[in-house]
């Protein structure tokens, strides 16, 4: 499942590009996009709330969405079969690629989440009662909420599937220069997570993914 709130950094073409990757590497996976606009070629469900930007992701926790949800950020790149990822059944989150428990206290990231239905109820109940208050208190996004409810018991992708889920900035980029976006994907990687700038479509060697002919 993906989420698109139009008018920001992401648009319909990014949903379609990720859909093509899912068709290639997970052809039996049903991709649904929660969106406020129609996405040609992609099955969509309408967003019900007007929560801005990344806060639209909180609609993944709605009680009318049944079953287990595998969520991917729209700037995620799939580079191999994700069978092992799709086999998971327990609540699974990203370990923050910088706050990984070594130099900084461990944190969670929401770019790739496996969310069983029963694990979504409590965060939804809390957030949906006072969304405006929460968004003002934590303006940088839903990360604090996810850590409040999930830090103590969620599986981490990096622990259960070592090397399969990597960060572009941490594991792939060959230089830390903002002007050098060359990269090399580690052997065995299946998903590359992108957090912040640059986006994959900003990098010459990844732009082909956003060409409709591919």
Give me the CATH number covering residue 152: 3.90.550.10
Q: How many domains would you assign to the chain?
A: 1
**pLDDT at residue 213, as a whole number:** 56
pLDDT at 179 over 80: no
Reduce the DSSP state of residue 140 to 3 states and report it: coil
In a domain, 206, yes or no: no
Query: If you average pLDDT over every residue of the chain, what do you get?
Result: 92
Q: Which residue intervals of 43-116 are DSSP H helices? A: 83-86
Query: Which of 153, 164, 137 is closest to 79 using CA atoms?
Result: 164
In a domain, 208, yes or no: no
User: pLDDT band at residue 42, thresholds of 50, 70 and 90?
Assistant: very high
In a domain, 197, yes or no: no
Q: Which residue intervals of the chain are DSSP H helices? A: 12-25, 83-86, 117-129, 131-137, 143-150, 157-160
User: pLDDT band at residue 61, thresholds of 50, 70 and 90?
Assistant: very high
Cβ within 8 Å of residue 47, ≥6 positions away: 3, 5, 34, 35, 36, 56, 59
In a domain, 33, yes or no: yes
Taking the C-alpha atoms of residue 94 and residue 44, their distance in angstroms, rounded to an integer, is 25
In a domain, 43, yes or no: yes
Q: In the predicted model, what is the mean pLDDT of residues 86-100?
A: 94
- Output the pTM of the full model: 0.92
In a domain, 133, yes or no: yes
Give the range of the structural domain holding residue 62, as residue numbers without chain letter. Answer: 2-161
């Amino acid at each position: 499942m993906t989420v698109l709130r139009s008018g920001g950094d992401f648009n319909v073409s990014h949903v379609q590009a990720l859909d093509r990757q899912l068709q290639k590497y997970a052809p039996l996976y049903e991709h649904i996009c929660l969106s406020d606009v129609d996405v040609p070629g992609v099955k969509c469900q309408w967003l019900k709330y007007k929560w801005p930007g990344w806060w639209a992701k909180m609609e993944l926790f709605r009680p009318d969405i049944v079953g287990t949800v595998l969520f991917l950020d729209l700037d995620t790149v799939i580079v191999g079969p994700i069978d092992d990822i799709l086999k998971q059944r327990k609540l699974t989150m990203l370990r923050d690629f910088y706050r990984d428990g070594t130099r900084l206290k461990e944190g969670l990231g929401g770019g790739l989440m496996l969310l069983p239905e029963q694990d979504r109820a409590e965060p939804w109940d809390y957030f949906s009662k006072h969304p405006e208050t929460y968004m003002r208190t934590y303006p940088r996004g839903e990360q604090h909420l996810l850590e409040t409810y999930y830090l103590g018991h969620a599986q981490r992708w990096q622990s259960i599937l070592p090397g399969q889920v990597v960060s572009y900035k941490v594991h792939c980029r060959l230089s830390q220069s903002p002007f050098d976006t060359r990269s090399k994907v580690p052997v065995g990687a299946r998903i590359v997570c992108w957090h912040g700038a640059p986006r994959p479509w900003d990098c010459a060697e990844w732009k082909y993914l956003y060409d409709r002919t591919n």
